A and B are shown apart, each in its own frame.
Chain A
């Protein structure tokens, strides 16, 4: 009986209001409610967060590392896709 594991959950924590939720890690839990409680105990016990999202890992579709060639490499030699060729007025900050 003990060999049956709880499903895996991915934990996202917002560390401050205004910031986005970031992936903190994963843990096991029987359901979403327990995943939230476990995440609270495992990841936010040192005052790391103000909000937690939990997503069951099986619901995440990931890209296949074997396809990295066709997915990402074609972008490497196309620097003009970055908006770095514009002259910005001095008044525009934080770009």
Chain B
């Protein structure tokens, strides 16, 4: 089994899995029927992407583990998603700010992954990128609406951006698996995405009449399995059925 490739796929897929779960929490609780359905749609898009990645990972693992085992039966420290995507739905501004800060990265990442020498990853990226282009359109639209909206919506969006900003730098950290895969022409060199990312994000924040946070201190650890307190609760909910009724199926 190619450990680097396996870990590399998990590094991509866990972001979508955890973000999808977060958005799924809003099912039936969105601020309006229309936004509720939109968030659920995005969540389903992300879960669909996760399935493609984990099916591939299960194939690479070559033992009897399935996509569900990989998604549901790991311990907290074995999840390698970035800290950003596990942050809670504090309010709708946080949900959209988190989505926006991730989508801009996700879109740039997939545009590069399309060029991967690994044909499966490249095919998955080609399929996902259309979905993510819409996610990015949806979330940046809401950042603009709330930022350039009422005094109250502006305060909420600014607070969300300020709080989540500290998790953005980690998106561009390389893991060992990253480095190995970049060397083989399979992986994306995320360090090269950083400059364009911050330019795009700043441009939109200016359009949304929001202030760009100046914080120089950034949180990290998710990619190494060291998470914020929020992930444990999320996993408890995500994994409950498989833990309570092992091997249950629909």
**Do A and B associate with each other?**
yes
Measured between beta carbons, the chain B residues less than 8 angstroms from A27 are 33-34
CB of A90 within 8 A of chain B? no
A28 to B31, CA, bound (A): 12
The answer on a CB contact under 8 Å between B37 and A6 is no
Mark interface residues in B35-51 (1 if CB within 8 Å of A CB, else 0). 10110010000000000
Per DSSP, are chain B's interface residues mostly helix, strand or loop, or mixed?
A: helix
Nearest chain B residue, comparing its CB with the CB of A39: B34
Measured between beta carbons, the chain A residues less than 8 angstroms from B152 are 1
Q: Which of the 9-residue segments A29-37, A58-66, A71-79 touches chain B?
A: A29-37
Measured between beta carbons, the chain B residues less than 8 angstroms from A29 are 34
A34 to B32, CA, bound (A): 12
User: When the two chains form the complex, which single residue of B41, B141, B145 contacts A41, counting CB atoms closer than 8 Å?
Assistant: B41
B26 to chain A, nearest CB (A): 13
A33 to B41, CA, bound (A): 18
Nearest chain B residue, comparing its CB with the CB of A29: B34
CB of B138 within 8 A of chain A? yes
The answer on a CB contact under 8 Å between B38 and A41 is yes
The answer on a CB contact under 8 Å between B32 and A28 is yes
B159 to chain A, nearest CB (A): 18
CB of A45 within 8 A of chain B? yes
A33 to B142, CA, bound (A): 11
The answer on a CB contact under 8 Å between B34 and A30 is no
CB of A50 within 8 A of chain B? no
The answer on a CB contact under 8 Å between A37 and B38 is yes
User: When the two chains form the complex, which single residue of B33, B37, B134, B141 contacts A34, counting CB atoms closer than 8 Å?
Assistant: B141
Measured between beta carbons, the chain B residues less than 8 angstroms from A30 are 145
Measured between beta carbons, the chain B residues less than 8 angstroms from A38 are 34-35, 37-38
User: Given A30-B145, A33-B141, A34-B141, does the pair A41, B32 have CB atoms closer than 8 Å?
Assistant: no
Name the interface residues of A13-43: CB closer than 8 Å to any CB of B.
27-30, 33-34, 37-38, 40-42
Nearest chain A residue, comparing its CB with the CB of B39: A41
User: Given A37-B138, A41-B41, A45-B41, does the pair A28, B34 have CB atoms closer than 8 Å?
Assistant: yes
Measured between beta carbons, the chain A residues less than 8 angstroms from B145 are 30, 34
B27 to chain A, nearest CB (A): 13
User: When the two chains form the complex, which single residue of B37, B138, B141 contacts A42, counting CB atoms closer than 8 Å?
Assistant: B37
Measured between beta carbons, the chain B residues less than 8 angstroms from A37 are 38, 137-138, 141
Measured between beta carbons, the chain A residues less than 8 angstroms from B137 are 37
Mark interface residues in A47-65 (1 if CB within 8 Å of B CB, else 0). 0000000000000000000
Nearest chain B residue, comparing its CB with the CB of A40: B134
A20 to B138, CA, bound (A): 27
A38 to chain B, nearest CB (A): 4
A25 to B185, CA, bound (A): 49
A3 to chain B, nearest CB (A): 13
Measured between beta carbons, the chain A residues less than 8 angstroms from B138 are 37
A26 to chain B, nearest CB (A): 11
A–B complex contacts, Cβ < 8 Å, 21 sampled? A1-B152, A27-B33, A28-B32, A28-B33, A28-B34, A30-B145, A33-B141, A34-B141, A34-B145, A37-B137, A37-B138, A38-B34, A38-B35, A38-B37, A38-B38, A40-B134, A41-B37, A41-B41, A42-B37, A45-B37, A45-B41
